[in-house]
Each structure stands twice: as structure tokens, then as C-alpha cells.
Chains A and B, each alone.
Chain A
Amino acid sequence: MATRKNNTLKLSFETGWKYDPAPESKSSAKIDPRYELFINGKFEKPLSKKYFNTINPATEEKLSEVADANVADVNKAVKAARNAYDKVWKKMPPKERAKYIYRIARMIQERAREFSVIETLDGGKPIRESRDVDIPLVANHFFYYAGWADKLEYAFPNRTASPLGVAGQIIPWNFPLLMAAWKIAPALATGNTVVLKPAETTPLTALKLAEIIQEADLPPGVVNIITGAGATGAAIVNHPDINKIAFTGSTDVGKLIQRAVAGTNKKVTLELGGKAANIIFDDAPIDQAVEGIINGIFFNQGHVCCAGSRLFVQESVYKEVIRKLKDRLETLIVGDPMDKNTDVGAINSKQQLSNIHKYLKIGQQEGAEMYQSSCPLPSKGFFCRPTLFTGVSQSHRISQEEIFGPVLAIQSFRTDDEVIEKANNTPFGLSAGVWTDKGSKIFNLTTKMRAGVIWANTYNKFDPTSPFGGYKESGYGREGGLHGLSAYVNLT
């Protein structure tokens, strides 16, 4: 059939042309050998007297060491935040608050290159992503919420919004600075003060943000950034003088937090795990859909809570889609995250890599067929080949559990009803993708997916104006947009 001709073309990779390395320079990144805790506007040595290393997951080399905050450090940070809230921040005219947040946004834009490089060194994500996605979104997020600070009376019809007080915020390692921005910007705009804990494997950009906050002359104590692991997070969650907990991370930890604050009046928002369905209908623009599948699961090494980790392909185009996916998989460049050609960077940590490997074994043991890119992997660092599983069934653990890596579980379907049921058959409900050229079918699917963010004919798009968050066990509350304000206010 002539009309299908293009769909049978395959790119040839046997030409002998290779990509030359195009490494981003590390010179713009100034990383101190040691970072203290940022409390009350100053970098202070931890009362715990303990530090831990943060490494580059692509080379396993130590980048710096950061303070390990204990309960006493958390107390100190909360005290600073409370004091700043009572004495300064809640009394400040909203338009003045706004100007501080605008200032932070501008300074991030000015230092975007430095932030991008450090984000990639500390976390392993391709420099192209930190440069083009993470850091611009960070600056935009602050800029967007800055403008809300003096307009809150328009946000909640017939209600008056007032701040909650001190917000304890705990963020993950997959989008370190972006998650910090998602947490801090709306909290400040609504008049709250903040104690933020970045993830233990990716603390550096948050600490660089602390430098900017200092430089921006934000009143001391309005934002406190303290580093540590799970115990530090628990101390924040359990602190009696915190009014609000905002957490992004795994569903398991989210449930622990929900349980831990049960006897308190703390307001909670949780942005937890996902197992998104990415659904390809036979009338979809297949080549675009293949790009969408690749972006959906291999963006940021699949360390994305909204990753399209379950692929559903309509049976009539199944063979074609799988063939094209495998071809495309071969073209992905896996390796040095600092190389501007790299598509898939380093897995964030050794622990995460072994977790992914565990699921690769489980997938095979359960009878699914594994297909991996034949790409070479660097000899040092934590890397995983982009992986597809076919012959997956609904009950397989690789289609039920969040893997948080570059692993795609593929199933086929025949009818709309069948795929809606399969897609929704999960305790998660964060996101979904739908690919079809038929508008009415898009809306049939998007309205029936039980998930908070639906991408139709696109995937993994984010914007400060766009609310993000889950249904069901993917958490509650929204971040971004007008709806993101609700998480940080009392309405009377």
C-alpha cells in the first residue's frame, strides 16, 4: 500500500558516521568541598557534627560533602522559620513578598548555566535536560508564583486566604531543583516560611539555591534548607511546630507520612508514585507516537513519577510500533550526562540501579520477554540500558509496581473499553498518555482515565501554570497553577 510506504522506512545506522563527544564544560560550576546547613539566612555547621558525601553517579567520584541534620538541627531550622514567619514574613505587604520571589527567579535565570551543570553532575541527568527543561522551569515557577503574592483575593472566590505558618517540605532526587521550586515558590507567595530538605543523593542545587536566597536578601529564616536522609525527613514530619507537610516521593513513604501526622492538625499534600498508561491507537501518527513513548519512559532515565511506564498498543499496529520502538531504542545515546548528545544519562544511585536490576529479573522470571538496546555502557558509574518488556500481563509486577527506571512494560489491546479498564486497573493515578488522531476519541479517553495529568498526543510536558498531582494512591493536592495555591492557605 503506497500510503504505508513511509512507515516501512528504517533509518540506517551503519553509515560509519559517529557523534563526536560534545561535553559541556564543568568550569561554570563552583562546588565547595563542604556545605553546611542553611538556617536563618546563614550557613551553619550542623549540631550533629556529621557530614555525608554526595557523588557524581556518572563517575562515582565525590563532588562534595554535606551536613547531616539531626533532630536538634531540625529544631533550630523550624525555630528560625517560625520566628521569621511571626516577626517578618506574615506581616510583609504581599507586593513586597512578590518582589523577593521575582528576585530569586531572576537570579536563577542569570546563573542558569551553573545550575544546569551542577544538577547534571550531582544527579546524572543529561545536561540537555537540565539545561532545557529543569532549570528554565525552576526560574519560571518562581516568576509565576511571585505574581500571585498580591493577588490572592482573586484566587478564592468568596473566601479570604491566609498563610498556614511553617511549611516542612521534603523533595526527591529526580528533579532536585525543580521540586524545590515547586515547593518553595507557592509557599512563599502565600506568606508561609519554609524548612526544605533535598534528597540525600542530590543536595547540591538546593544548597546553591540557598546562596541565591542569601544574595537576594530574603529575610533570614524565611527559607531554611537542611540536608540529610530519611531520619532528617522524619524529624521534619514529626516536628510539633510545623503547620504543613509537602512531600514528593514514593507512595510507601507518603503513606508513612500520612499516618505519622494523623494525630495533628498539619495540612498535608503528597505527590507520590505512578504507573502511567501510555495508549497508542491505530489511527495515531505512529512516528510521533513512538517519539512520545520514548520521551515518556526514557526522559530522565525513567526517574519520573509520571513516566509512561505501561505502554498499551492497539493490536492492529502492534507489530509496527514494536519494530519502530526497537529501532528507535538503538539510536538512543546512553552515557556521559555532561555530553550534549546524550539522551539517557546515569541512574541516580547505586541503590536505584540495583532496584531496577531487581525488576529486570522479576520481569523475565514472570515470563515477559526482555529487549534491550545494544548500546555500550560506560565502565564506571551507574548506567542501565533502555529496556522494553513485551508479553506482559496485567498481573505482572513490572506492570503493577513503580520501577522508576528506563523500563517499559508493553501490552496490546483491541477495544477502547478494554484499554480504559486496563489503564485504570492500578492503585496509582498520576498521569496517562493517549495517542490518536481522532479528537472525540481523545476526549473519551482523557475523561475516563482516573489520573491527574493527561497528555494527549504529547507526553511529559510541565509548566508553572499547569496543576500537577495525582488521583488515588498517587497522592493528593496539586502543585502548579492557581490550584497549587490551595496547598498553602487557610480559607475563611
Chain B
Amino acid sequence: MPRLEVLKTYKIYIGGQFPRTESGRFYIVKNKKGVNLANVCLSSRKDFRDAVVAARGAFGGWAAKAAFNRGQILYRIAEMLEGRKAQFIDELIKQDSSAADAENEVNLCIERLIYYAGWCDKFQQLFGSINPVASSHFNFSVPEATGVVAAIAPQNTGLLGLVSVVAPIIAGGNSTVVLASESKPLCAVTFAEVLNSSDVPGGVVNILTGKPSELVKYFADHMDVNATVYCEKDGETQKLIKEKASLNVKRVVLYDKINWQSDEGQSPYFIMDTQEIKTTWHPIENIGGAKAGY
């Protein structure tokens, strides 16, 4: 008798756990030929809110980790992804990629993670500054993570878009809730398993599956989200996001012209898109009578 294949249950990823959607809803993912690939969670507003709570809880610890340590963890994600390449390639092929494209996409994701692993403890030196103020003060500016970033992953790829958007967000010390590609969500869930075994603290990256058309407004209007990332060209949705974002002065980051396949899809400027600049002042004592000169 041939062995019966064990099918995988695709669940969402919140706070380091793999729950099903609280709503009990699902949708069927099909390939182009109409073959059913999986029943996937149709995440709800409540799932998103739970994920934001998890992300907020994880933010302080992640942002406070040594930048070097964050770099090691991003590198670890790349290592885990390398080890599970075959599974990702298999899923991409199921979701209509050619074998060559699938392998190329997974390789590019691994490279991209390593690229950002390297940036974790370097972009601060590039984008920070010592400011030569005219008064007797020591003054410097450093980038710091914006906070909780809600991102809708690029919809046209199963893995590359998600990795390209998430890596710079977490490299900079933010936590994130990311909504996977609606039509190609399988790799996103499997990527959560990679994160789960990569020393990424639970809650730093939360991955939901579902419909952007349903959830986008919550990604933009949640009062405990600091920034929203959106990658499609849809002008109406962009407008909706910007309007809702004004409720708590969210930063809105639009990546609607980026080719994630190319080198243009990676840059420290992507890290800076979800950073704040903090400037610190402290007086320098000038003791009366002290002479200049060393």
C-alpha cells in the first residue's frame, strides 16, 4: 500500500505561537490550474489586534538587544532558511513558480537576510551624527526603531517580497505584524516556522494570512501601530492608508515602485524608513580659568 502523505495545517503566527484564526474562518488557496493547495486561515481584525499586542510586548526587548546580537539572529534566520530550502522551493513550485525561479527566489531571500544581518550594527554609524553645536554641549543623533510596524507584504511573490520587507524592519529593532500574499501564503507560514527556530523572540515578527482588502484599514488605523508599510500600486488603498494613518500620526511607507528581484530591493535606506532620529544633549563643563590646549 502506498504511504499516505501527511498534509500540513497552515496556521498563523502570533507571539511565537501558531494559533488558528480566532474567527474560525478559512480560505482555499489554489494554484493556477485550480487545484486546491491548502485551507489557510482567513485572519480577522481580532487576530490583527492580538498580533499588535504581541508585537508591542516584544518591541522593547528586541530594540534593546545589542545590534550585534540582532545581526546574529538575522544571520541565524538565513541559516535556517538555507537548511529548509527544499521545502520552500517545493511550496513555490506548488504555487506556480518554475523550478529555476523557485530556487532563485529562495536563494535571493537567503542572500537578502545575510545582507541585512550585516547592516544591523552598521547603519547607525552611517546615519547617526555628532553635531557640532555652537554652545558648550556634547550633542549626538542616532537612529532608533519607530516601534510596531504593520506591513502588508508584496502580493506578487510568495517569499521574496515578505523577506525583503520584514528584514529591514526587524534589522532596525522594530517589531512587526505582516500580512502574507493572499494568493501565495504557503511560504509565509513556513517562514514563520523558520523564524520560530532562529532565536527570534516571539512577537517580534507576527505573520497573518488573509485578505488585504479586508484588513488593510486596520493595519492603518490601529492606535498602537507606529508605521504602516504597503507595497501595491493601488492608489485608492494608498489614500485610505494615509487617511487612517493620520489618526495617530503613523509613518506611512509605500514601496510601490520597487523591483524586489533586483539589487534595488535592498538598501540601508529601507532600514531608515522605519527609524526615528533621537538627538541627545549634555553640557560640557568649562571650568573657569582652564586654558585651551592639551
Contact (A262, B131) CB under 8 Å given A159-B269, A452-B276: no
Write the A422-459 contact mask toward B (1 if CB under 8 angstroms, else 0). 00000100000000000000100011001111111110
Contact (A446, B251) CB under 8 Å given A461-B135, A465-B132, A491-B269: no
- Contact partner of B246 (CB less than 8 A), chosen from A262, A468, A472, is A262
Write the B235-247 contact mask toward A (1 if CB under 8 angstroms, else 0). 1001111110111
A454 in contact with B279 (CB, 8 Å): yes
A-B contact pairs, 22 of them (CB 8 A): A157-B126, A256-B246, A258-B245, A261-B242, A427-B248, A442-B282, A452-B277, A453-B278, A457-B282, A461-B135, A463-B134, A465-B132, A465-B134, A466-B133, A466-B139, A466-B281, A467-B141, A471-B276, A473-B249, A475-B249, A481-B279, A491-B269
Q: Is residue A255 within 8 Å, beta carbon to beta carbon, of the partner chain?
A: yes
Q: Is residue A121 within 8 Å, beta carbon to beta carbon, of the partner chain?
A: no
**Closest residue to A156 on the B side, CB-wise?**
B269
Q: How many angstroms between the C-alpha atoms of A231 and B269 in the bound complex? A: 37
Nearest Cβ in chain B — how far from A161, in angstroms? 12
Q: Is residue A373 within 8 Å, beta carbon to beta carbon, of the partner chain?
A: no
Q: Is residue A47 within 8 Å, beta carbon to beta carbon, of the partner chain?
A: no
Nearest Cβ in chain A — how far from B230, in angstroms? 12
Contact (A483, B129) CB under 8 Å given A255-B249, A461-B281, A476-B251: yes
Chain B residues lying within 8 Å of A262, measured Cβ to Cβ, are 238-243, 246
A466 in contact with B141 (CB, 8 Å): yes
Q: How many angstroms between the C-alpha atoms of A254 and B281 in the bound complex? A: 27
Report the interface size for chain B: residues with CB under 8 A from the other chain.
Answer: 38
Contact (A454, B129) CB under 8 Å given A263-B239, A473-B248, A481-B141: no
Q: How many angstroms between the C-alpha atoms of A16 and B146 in the bound complex? A: 55
Q: Is residue B104 within 8 Å, beta carbon to beta carbon, of the partner chain?
A: no
A463 in contact with B131 (CB, 8 Å): yes
**Closest residue to A255 on the B side, CB-wise?**
B246
Q: Is residue B226 within 8 Å, beta carbon to beta carbon, of the partner chain?
A: yes
A458 in contact with B226 (CB, 8 Å): no
Interface size class of A (residues with CB under 8 A): 35 or more
- Contact partner of B139 (CB less than 8 A), chosen from A158, A259, A463, A473, is A463
Q: Which A-B residue pairs are the 5 nearest by beta carbons?
A: A262-B242, A258-B246, A463-B133, A259-B246, A263-B239
B280 in contact with A456 (CB, 8 Å): yes
Q: Is residue A128 within 8 Å, beta carbon to beta carbon, of the partner chain?
A: no
Chain A residues lying within 8 Å of B146, measured Cβ to Cβ, are 471
Write the A461-492 contact mask toward B (1 if CB under 8 angstroms, else 0). 10101111101111110100111000000010
- Contact partner of B281 (CB less than 8 A), chosen from A270, A447, A454, is A454
Chain B residues lying within 8 Å of A261, measured Cβ to Cβ, are 242
Chain B residues lying within 8 Å of A478, measured Cβ to Cβ, are 277
Which residues between 242 and 294 of chain B lie within 8 Å of chain A, taking CB atoms?
A: 242-243, 245-249, 251, 267, 269, 276-283
Nearest Cβ in chain A — how far from B216, in angstroms? 14
Write the A240-282 contact mask toward B (1 if CB under 8 angstroms, else 0). 0000000000010011101101110000001010000000000
Q: Is residue B137 within 8 Å, beta carbon to beta carbon, of the partner chain?
A: yes
Chain B residues lying within 8 Å of A427, measured Cβ to Cβ, are 248
B278 in contact with A476 (CB, 8 Å): no
Q: Is residue A232 within 8 Å, beta carbon to beta carbon, of the partner chain?
A: no
- Identify 14 new A-B residue pairs, CB closer than 8 A, beyond the known A456-B282, A465-B132: A140-B134, A256-B246, A262-B243, A272-B249, A452-B278, A453-B278, A465-B134, A466-B281, A467-B129, A467-B141, A469-B277, A471-B146, A472-B249, A482-B129
B281 in contact with A458 (CB, 8 Å): yes
Contact (A255, B247) CB under 8 Å given A452-B277, A466-B281: yes
Nearest Cβ in chain B — how far from A274, in angstroms? 12
- Give the one of A450, A466, A473 with max B CB within 10 A: A466
Q: Point out residues on B near A: beta carbons under 8 Å.
A: 64, 126, 129, 131-135, 137, 139, 141, 144, 146-147, 226, 235, 238-243, 245-249, 251, 267, 269, 276-283
Q: How many angstroms between the C-alpha atoms of A481 and B135 in the bound complex? A: 15
Chain B residues lying within 8 Å of A475, measured Cβ to Cβ, are 249
Q: How many angstroms between the C-alpha atoms of A272 and B133 in the bound complex? A: 23
**Closest residue to A471 on the B side, CB-wise?**
B276
B279 in contact with A467 (CB, 8 Å): yes
- Contact partner of A270 (CB less than 8 A), chosen from B235, B248, B249, is B249
Q: How many angstroms between the C-alpha atoms of A272 and B267 in the bound complex? A: 30
Chain A residues lying within 8 Å of B279, measured Cβ to Cβ, are 452-454, 466-468, 481
**Closest residue to B248 on the A side, CB-wise?**
A473
- Contact partner of B131 (CB less than 8 A), chosen from A255, A258, A455, A466, is A466
Chain B residues lying within 8 Å of A159, measured Cβ to Cβ, are 269
**Closest residue to B129 on the A side, CB-wise?**
A482
Nearest Cβ in chain B — how far from A473, in angstroms? 5
- Contact partner of B249 (CB less than 8 A), chosen from A251, A455, A468, is A251
Q: How many angstroms between the C-alpha atoms of A457 and B279 in the bound complex? A: 14
**Closest residue to B285 on the A side, CB-wise?**
A457
Chain A residues lying within 8 Å of B247, measured Cβ to Cβ, are 255
Chain B residues lying within 8 Å of A442, measured Cβ to Cβ, are 282
Chain B residues lying within 8 Å of A461, measured Cβ to Cβ, are 133, 135, 137, 281
Q: How many angstroms between the C-alpha atoms of A474 and B245 in the bound complex? A: 14
Q: How many angstroms between the C-alpha atoms of A187 and B211 in the bound complex? A: 41
Q: How many angstroms between the C-alpha atoms of A157 and B251 in the bound complex? A: 23
Nearest Cβ in chain B — how far from A452, in angstroms? 6
